[in-house]
Amino acid sequence: MMRKIGLLVLVLVLLGGMTAGAEELRVYTWSEYMDEEKMPADFEEKFGIKVRLDIYENNEEMVAKLQAGGASQYDIIVPSDYIMPVLINQKLIQPLDHAKIPNLKNLKPLFREASYDPGNKYSVAYQWGTVGLMYRKEKVSDAAAQSWSVLFDAAKQPGAFWLIDSVREMMGIALVYQGKDFNSTNPADLKAAADLLVATKRTKNCMGFKPGVGGKNDVVAGTAVAAIVYNGDAIQSVTEEPDKLGFIIPNEGSEIWYDSMCIPSKAPNPDAAHKWINWILEPEVGAELSNYNQFATPNAAAEAFITPEDLKNPGIYPTPAIMKKLYFTKDLGKENRIMDEAWTRAKSH
């Protein structure tokens, strides 16, 4: 009897090992950045590879996870442009095999020659967009939303609001509101920007700092009247309730960004990761992605399949006039330390 039980245990262990060995792709990405049920299921159906998603809310959280061993746990990450030099310099991501990504040809030229990664050696553009002000129209007039003063000037604040919990976006917006360079590393500029955020945080209406998705959710629920958010997060809700909700890039300016797909340096399944990247670059898949999350596609071949209303929506595809007041976030190299110190003071005071 004991031998039979022992044999049964052995069989179960072997079966467990076989199940555990099923091919898997681990994707570490932003929350609400794809249809989290349909797209992984579609990929699994096509390639027989199960997709597991883990979520982060900002680039710094993602980098810290990779530095703490995540570079050997994940196959795909989706970093923003400004954090890419850190990932490359610290060897946290690996070069891509372009022979396995024939759909690279679908990318628009703008997204093939990033200053930090010319020729897409390490990265492939995923989505691009902006950061702006989402607001409830019964509390904030369209005219008031034209300026960041609606948040930064205590006399103009319309009610409870959130600042965005992301260092470069929030510091950059504070800088341009004060007439400075979005990417300034001048200590006096950064001190003034941090002082502005501290003063704003101390007003009775400011609820503090929150990631973009959380801020968006609170504006939709009515627990906040405004929040600084990523455009795609806002547009989904604004499209559903255009009479109640608005989204705008205030006149002083804001950030334009793009996120890319990369493969961590010690990814357990780099072959599946290349399949994922090439699949996302399929015209119909790229369009499905953007039609769902309402961020702009970097994929020229996908535009034929994008919802026509979205292509005409300046909240998703900014007009030339809006583009003039948008700034890419630059890697600051060693000067990142000064920025981080100012941000730490803004958050802790």
Q: Whole-angstrom Cα distance, residue 130 to residue 235?
A: 11
What kind and span of H or E run contains 52?
A: strand 50-56
Structure tokens at 287: 């369009």
Taking only the tens place, the pLDDT of each residue in 81-131 is: 989 999 999 999 999 999 999 999 999 988 888 888 989 999 999 999 999
Taking only the tens place, the pLDDT of each residue in 37-86 is: 999 999 999 999 999 999 999 999 999 999 999 999 999 999 999 899 99
The values of phi and psi at residue 281, to 5°, are -80, -5
Q: What is the 3-class SS of 250-303, one letter each residue?
A: CCCCEEEEEEEEECECCCCCHHHHHHHHHHHCCHHHHHHHHHHHCCECCEHHHH
CB 320 within 8 A of CB 326: no
pLDDT of residue 317: 93
pLDDT of residue 21: 57
Mean of the per-residue pLDDT values for the chain? 92
**Overall size of the chain counted in residues:** 349
Structure tokens at 120: 């897409």
- pTM to 2 decimal places: 0.84
Closest CA to 235 of 224, 219, 255: 219
Q: What's the whole-number mean pLDDT along residues 142-148?
A: 97
| Residue 221: count of CB within 10 angstroms of its CB | 8
Strand partners, 210: 164
Instruction: Name the band, by pLDDT with cuts 50, 70 and 90, for residue 9.
Output: very low
Half-sphere exposure of 276 (CA within 13 A, CB side): 32
Strand partners, 27: 53, 76
pLDDT of residue 20: 46
Angle at 325 between CA 321 and CA 331, to 5 degrees: 140
pLDDT of residue 327: 93
Q: What's the whole-number mean pLDDT along residues 4-16?
A: 41
Instruction: Name the band, by pLDDT with cuts 50, 70 and 90, for residue 321.
Output: very high
- pLDDT over 90 at 249, yes or no: yes
Structure tokens at 144: 């008031």
